[in-house]
Structure 1
């Protein structure tokens, strides 16, 4: 909820992060597509909104005319289910990791959202770390897969599993940027330092071009002092790396997931849907997405 801070001549509207509230402009349509910028949505803590953000950010970017590929990189397959895609008896990201000569386009599935495609995942992916552990350059296998389709898209979003294992390291090695969804709850803060340390190690040893695109505050409830204090602490610690867009807590997200739709289509006028559209505009304004 925005707050108003009066000055002598006018009013400055402050957003939840305590910074002047900006209305990011609607990005212009692109006259051509690709190569994609790859963004990993990553946090080793579960239940912080990674998949919800992947679904709704992908749909929002597609609504603004971007060609988007979402990669389900979690054995739970929640991203696939949330987009209404069946994952049984179809090629998945697991098949592409095990057979890097296979054309990744065989596993790409168009979703009901125009401009948004998906590489699905299912429980088979849980065996990937065991199979990959003895592979040469095992940390770079996902990068090899995604580079082969990068020219077809403007942005590729990787929905990581809640861990810092080999799959997540693969995602970080493939990515140009990292977006960290962070629940506005005290314990969510504790693991961020370890995650950023992991990103720095990947940058130093495997992927020198990776950068932290930003931290996204999720499940924010302006009515509670706890939410407000945690968000204030996040901004104090990470400054401008915290997105100005904040995602509020709402029961609409599970309803949209059951329907197999992004919230931006299930309830497009809902404040949380509008917040994800705003996040898409903010990413473009920051230069993280073309």
Structure 2
């Protein structure tokens, strides 16, 4: 309820906010030497300017909150709440939360950076999401000098039949290699697919039905610490820097579990479930790679949300890698995934970066369909092809032996192409 400000240009507004949000606002304003009324004015103005409301905030137990806003702003705010179908308390809570995210604490500058998050996704199965996920994860985790030396030898061996083009390509790639370091990082690769191909390829047992898993943490029903589920690969090439969160059979029920939890728990946002589950472990890693299932459901929404560009994060640091094949069904599945990404961005006001395409299991001997499809992938204006992975034996052999590719065949073309994908280098 507004009342006049002594000078006439503002009015007092009485509403409610969750106590924790009130305290966070008070502390942040003190840190930034701002008046609370100015912060709330900016928060409400920015929230009204957004095309859609933000994620729902839990407002149960809200306490009285009052401040001074420019005359008429609160009436405009209430009108916006009515248009968006949210209560005044919910609208104010969303406004304050968004403002806090846009105005981080100065103390955050002294904290370690959030991990890079790479989500490997495609609606179509069998395109190589798991092999690409594992290859990227291994490339980040292996000893940086080992990976750089192998990649340098690989680049030097490139041959395209045109000497001038070869030398120009080599020079460019070697120059990029001098500036980029990939290995030596702490990596978590998450087997997010209930089929658990990633876990199986490494000889890690799938989590049986009904046991503690990523699923129980996502739906807010954990019995223990997420760290207890993580398995470290004990291969000397990775110096215990590569961890795996195994797949769980209960993942087949994840979509329905998320929908049920959202229906039963006020304030539960389905899209945030994966991020909320992994948050306790994020501080342990430099890179987190998510191997997504071939799905367009709620689980995929949560995976794509996890790939979004966070506040103050550099464009292209995190995002989605899309493995495809040089055939028509991959193009259809790609279009469906892109539509899902764009809808999610629009509905929740997100920015999700496409890191690029990986054309997998390519074999030019398959003729016109393969070569013309590859040409189409290369011609996409809004996507770059990070790499073309040939259909070679080393990956299949590594899977059969349940070994990481970069440990089984570290000098192979496939291993070096994985390193180039991780570096963000566009390979030939």
Judge same fold: TM > 0.5, yes or no.
yes
User: Is the 2:378–2:385 Cα contact (8 Å) retained in structure 1?
Assistant: no
Equivalent position of 1:280 in the other structure:
422
Equivalent position of 2:300 in the other structure:
168
DSSP-derived class of the 1:279 partner: helix
1:117 aligns with 2:243: yes
1:278: Cα distance to partner? 1.7
RMSD in angstroms over aligned alpha carbons?
A: 2.1
1:243 aligns with 2:385: yes
Equivalent position of 1:188 in the other structure:
330
CA-to-partner distance for each residue in 1:220-257, whole Å, 9 max, x for gaps? 12343432211111111245x22342111123323211
1:129 to 238, 255, 267: 255
Closer, same or farther: CA 116–91 of 1 in aligned 2, 3 Å: farther
1:1-290 alignment runs, 5 A limit: 34-63=113-142, 64-88=183-207, 91-99=212-220, 102-113=224-235, 114=238, 115-134=241-260, 135=262, 136-176=268-308, 177-206=319-348, 208-223=350-365, 224-238=367-381, 241-282=383-424
Q: Distance in 1 between matches of 2:189 and 2:423?
A: 18
Closer, same or farther: CA 281–273 of 1 in aligned 2, 3 Å: same
Closer, same or farther: CA 199–88 of 1 in aligned 2, 3 Å: closer
Q: Distance in 2 between matches of 1:53 and 1:174?
A: 18
DSSP-derived class of the 1:39 partner: strand
Q: How many residues align?
A: 252
User: Is the 1:40–1:179 Cα contact (8 Å) retained in structure 2?
Assistant: yes
Closer, same or farther: CA 207–47 of 1 in aligned 2, 3 Å: farther
Larger radius of gyration: 2
Mean CA deviation greater in 192-201 or 108-117? 108-117
Closer, same or farther: CA 91–116 of 1 in aligned 2, 3 Å: farther
What TM-score results when the alignment is normalised by the length of structure 1?
0.80
User: Is the 2:188–2:243 Cα contact (8 Å) retained in structure 1?
Assistant: yes
Q: Distance in 1 between matches of 2:230 and 2:185?
A: 17
Q: Distance in 1 between matches of 2:191 and 2:370?
A: 29
1:208: Cα distance to partner? 1.0
Q: Distance in 1 between matches of 2:381 and 2:406?
A: 28
Q: Distance in 2 between matches of 1:162 and 1:156?
A: 19
Q: Distance in 2 between matches of 1:189 and 1:278?
A: 24
User: Is the 2:273–2:302 Cα contact (8 Å) retained in structure 1?
Assistant: yes
CA-to-partner distance for each residue in 1:33-52, whole Å, 9 max, x for gaps? 75212121110101000011
Structure possessing the higher relative contact order (Cα contacts under 8 Å, 6 or more residues apart)? 1
1:173: Cα distance to partner? 1.0
Q: Distance in 2 between matches of 1:74 and 1:207?
A: 26
User: Is the 1:100–1:141 Cα contact (8 Å) retained in structure 2?
Assistant: no
DSSP-derived class of the 1:191 partner: helix
User: Is the 1:248–1:272 Cα contact (8 Å) retained in structure 2?
Assistant: yes
DSSP-derived class of the 2:364 partner: coil
